């Protein structure tokens, strides 16, 4: 018998479908290898999240395979153990109420920046648009408890960026919903690769802060269909 209230059932089932579909975008965009990486979504009105189970290949990630956990990482609904990163996701949701989706990948170029523990400088208009400045580096932390989540929150609270490079580990992205967090992960890998390529030719020049602020405001408030 599920402990999820029936009033939450429509949202839970919708999020299982959405999260399963969004997981397919990670290998499609070359952001993960084998079973690494995960997408989660906050369940509105409850301290719950939907996430993929641990160690399951992407071709098996159907809506029925998704699991529901609480913010402490405990399984609430599902037949398998939640992702090993569930503690980190839960900590983010508990301490950043504006966040509705979290993504973790091991994409090659973003993870390379995490390996050298260096922020990605804001040298492109696309970076200013999406990330609002440099993409920061978070502290090294081991998997298994909420240490990674604490590092994500401490770093992103002081940044406009929806992405953080966790030192020696890899990128995490956040968003108002899970789709926005996946978008940030895709764009992060793109700019991480481009800035690395630029460095092979010369040292790229960071944009002026005033221009970064102007670009960020336009993209976040004017660009696209409202």
DSSP string of 54-99, one letter each residue: TT--GGG--GGG-EEEETTS-EEE-SSPBPTTHHHHHHHHHH-TT-
The answer on pLDDT for 166 being more than 70 is: yes
Pairing of strands 48-51, 163-166: unpaired
Q: What integer pLDDT is reported at residue 1 of this predicted model?
A: 42
pLDDT > 90: what percent of the chain?
A: 95
Average pLDDT, the chain: 96
Q: Is 109 an annotated catalytic residue?
A: no
The answer on pLDDT for 147 being more than 60 is: yes
* Mean pLDDT, range 11-27, rounded to an integer: 98
pTM equals: 0.97
Q: What integer pLDDT is reported at residue 2 of this predicted model?
A: 66
Q: Is 33 helix (H, G, I), strand (E, B) or coil?
A: coil
Q: Is 95 an annotated catalytic residue?
A: no
Q: Is 89 an annotated catalytic residue?
A: no
In a 13 Å sphere around the CA of 32, the CA atoms on its Cβ side amount to: 24
Q: Which of 215, 178, 158, 176 is closest to 38 using CA atoms?
A: 178
Which residue among the candidates 47, 108, 129, 177 is catalytic per the annotation? Answer: 129
What are 48-99's pLDDT values in tens digits? 999 999 999 999 999 999 999 999 999 999 999 999 999 999 999 999 999 9
* Mean pLDDT, range 17-28, rounded to an integer: 98
Per-residue pLDDT band at 139 (split at 50, 70, 90): very high
Per-residue pLDDT band at 116 (split at 50, 70, 90): very high
The answer on pLDDT for 157 being more than 90 is: yes
* Mean pLDDT, range 150-173, rounded to an integer: 97
Which residue among the candidates 106, 108, 217, 219 is catalytic per the annotation? Answer: 106
* Integer angstrom CA distances of residue 43 from 6, 16, 70, 99, 147: 13, 10, 10, 11, 22
The answer on pLDDT for 44 being more than 50 is: yes
Which residue among the candidates 104, 109, 134, 216 is catalytic per the annotation? Answer: 104
* Mean pLDDT, range 95-105, rounded to an integer: 98
Q: Is 173 helix (H, G, I), strand (E, B) or coil?
A: strand
Which residue among the candidates 89, 109, 169, 216 is catalytic per the annotation? Answer: 169
14-18, 43-47, 219-223: the lowest-pLDDT one: 219-223
The answer on pLDDT for 117 being more than 50 is: yes
Q: Is 217 an annotated catalytic residue?
A: no
Q: Is 104 an annotated catalytic residue?
A: yes
CA 30/CA 186 separation, integer angstroms: 9
Helix (H) or strand (E) holding 48: strand 48-51
pLDDT > 70: what percent of the chain?
A: 98
Q: What integer pLDDT is reported at residue 226 of this predicted model?
A: 61
* Mean pLDDT, range 16-45, rounded to an integer: 98
CA 125/CA 26 separation, integer angstroms: 24
Q: Is the dihedral of CA 214, 215, 217, 223 positive or negative?
A: positive
């Amino acid at each position: 018998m599920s402990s999820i209230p029936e009033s939450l059932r429509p949202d839970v089932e919708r999020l299982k479908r959405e999260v399963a579909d969004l997981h397919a975008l990670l290998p499609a965009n070359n952001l993960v290898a084998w079973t690494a990486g995960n997408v989660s979504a906050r369940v509105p009105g409850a301290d719950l999240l939907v996430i993929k189970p641990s160690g399951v290949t992407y071709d098996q990630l159907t809506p029925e395979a998704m699991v529901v956990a609480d913010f402490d990482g405990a399984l609430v609904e599902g037949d398998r153990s939640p992702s090993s990163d569930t503690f980190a996701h839960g900590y983010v949701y508990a301490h950043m109420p504006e966040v509705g989706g979290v993504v973790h990948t091991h994409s090659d170029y973003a993870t390379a920046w995490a390996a050298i523990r260096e922020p990605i400088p804001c040298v492109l208009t696309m970076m200013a648009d999406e990330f609002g400045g440099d993409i920061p580096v978070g502290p090294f932390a081991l998997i298994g408890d909420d240490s990674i989540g604490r590092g994500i929150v401490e770093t992103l609270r002081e940044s406009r960026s929806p992405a953080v490079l966790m030192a020696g580990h890899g990128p995490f992205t956040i968003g108002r919903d899970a789709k926005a967090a996946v978008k940030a992960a895709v764009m992060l890998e793109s700019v991480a690769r481009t800035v690395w390529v630029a460095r092979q030719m010369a040292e790229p020049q960071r944009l002026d802060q005033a221009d970064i602020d102007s670009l960020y405001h336009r993209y976040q408030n004017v660009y696209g269909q409202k």
